[in-house]
Amino acid sequence: MTTDTAAQEALDKLSETRERLLAEIRKAVVGQDEVIEQLLISLLARGHCLLTGIPGLGKTLLVKTVANCLTLGFKRIQFTPDLMPADVVGSEVVDEDASSGKLSFRFVPGPIFSQVVLADEINRTPPKTQAALLEAMEEKQVTVAGETRSLESPFFVLATQNPIELEGTYPLPEAQLDRFLLNPVIQYLPEADEIRMVGDTTGSERPLPEAVLSGAEIETLQYLTRQVPAPESVVSYAVRLVSASRPGEAGCDPWIAERIKWGAGSRGSQALVLSAKARALLNGRPNASREDIRAMAKSALRHRILPSFLAESEGLSSDDLIDRLLDQVSE
């Protein structure tokens, strides 16, 4: 089957696939529709996703459920303060030949050698270990003892983190934050959803989600995402929005310039356009629009914008600053 034929078949079945996928996820997860959509957008856009929220809101359950709906290799890494880089990427061990007594090195792969990696509570481990993910996330490969080993495709890191205000957390380095395509924030459930969730989880055993998408199907959908047209006006809007977040740039408002220490880089513009394309495809629309850019702005930019001391003293978050940018930058 040619790539074009497979792509057309995937496009024809996209609506059905989306509904099946959501139905399986909802077997385990109540509510959180916006966060679920953003996780799926990350997968379609071939990006990694960092899910933020306080403990007890179901971050790990959500990521595990999405992973269970994909017929891909899955590994979970529980990040703790004593986790070492070798625990993530693997290490070489000494083997002794039983007959000759000869010693040799053998590589034991770490849990990063999978297709879907759940990096749970990633900001509870020191920066040295966090950085072990950088090469894998950016280049889909790992270098250990001078030898570079490729990771199987498709490859996703779906990470969870607690808010940095909580005790025992280590803020992720900016270089690593930038490798995450999106940073959804999981919120408390509305009362009606929480009542349903508590009823479901304290009753009889619930059915387990079933796999819906194979690796080949995911790669086909990723190919289709790249083919979704983004008009020049939409790309221009995304670039102007990101540029307006950078103090010192001509399009940056003085009020914003005082309240942002540094803004999003070019990867932020790419993330906006790619996620807008994936959102359009997921919702069955023929091209990305400015509304898609606006819908994805917070998730794509909140981890790429650093509020200044003045903004923090005024109680302003990255989301507040992005709201201001959306109001100021004309479509």
Three-class SS string for the chain?
Answer: CCHHHHHHHHHHCHHHHHHHHHHHHCCCCCCCHHHHHHHHHHHHCCCEEEEECCCCCCHHHHHHHHHHCEECCEEEEECCCCCCHHHHHEEEEEEECCCCCCEEEEEEECCCCCCEEEEECHHHCCHHHHHHHHHHHHHCEEEECCEEEECCCCCEEEEEECCCCCCCCCCCCHHHHCCEEECCECCCCCHHHHHHHHHHHCCCCCCCCCCCEEHHHHHHHHHHHHHCCCCHHHHHHHHHHHHCCCCCCCCCCHHHHHHEEECCCHHHHHHHHHHHHHHHHHCCCCCCCHHHHHHHHHHHHCCCCEECHHHHHCCCCHHHHHHHHHHHCCC
The mean-pLDDT minimum among 44-48, 84-88, 204-208, 237-241 falls in 204-208
- Over residues 68-101, the pLDDT tens digits come to 888 888 888 888 888 888 888 888 788 777 777 7
User: What is the percentage of the chain residues whose pLDDT exceeds 90?
Assistant: 22
Across the chain, mean pLDDT equals 84
Q: Is the pLDDT of residue 11 over 90?
A: no
Tell me what pLDDT residue 33 has.
81
Tell me what pLDDT residue 272 has.
95
Tell me what pLDDT residue 182 has.
93
Q: Determine contact, residues 183/302, Cβ cutoff 8 Å.
A: yes
Q: Which one, of 25, 21, 10, 84, lies nearest residue 58 by Cα?
A: 25
Other CB atoms within 10 A of residue 329 CB: 20
Per-domain residue ranges of the chain: 1-198+214-227, 229-331
Q: Determine contact, residues 123/77, Cβ cutoff 8 Å.
A: no
C-alpha distances in Å from residue 241, one per residue of 18, 185, 327: 30, 21, 10
Q: Collect contacts of 240-244 with beta carbons under 8 A, ≥24 apart.
A: 240/329, 241/272, 241/293, 241/297, 241/325, 241/326, 241/329, 242/266, 242/268, 242/269, 242/272, 242/301, 244/325, 244/328, 244/329
User: What is the percentage of the chain residues whose pLDDT exceeds 70?
Assistant: 95
Maximum distance among all Cα pairs of the chain, rounded to whole angstroms? 75
Tell me what pLDDT residue 300 has.
93
- pLDDT bin (cut points 50, 70, 90) of residue 270 is very high
Stretch 138-151: mean pLDDT: 84
- Over residues 188-217, the pLDDT tens digits come to 878 887 888 888 777 777 777 788 888 888
* Amino acid letter, residue 298: K
- pLDDT bin (cut points 50, 70, 90) of residue 119 is confident
Tell me what pLDDT residue 269 has.
93
- pLDDT bin (cut points 50, 70, 90) of residue 233 is very high
pTM: 0.85
Tell me what pLDDT residue 236 has.
94
Q: Which one, of 7, 12, 37, 21, lies nearest residue 211 by Cα?
A: 21
C-alpha distances in Å from residue 34, one per residue of 174, 250, 259, 304: 25, 34, 28, 20
Tell me what pLDDT residue 4 has.
60
Is the model more confident about 31 or about 283? 283
CATH architecture, domain 229-331: Orthogonal Bundle (1.10)
CATH architecture, domain 1-198+214-227: 3-Layer(aba) Sandwich (3.40)
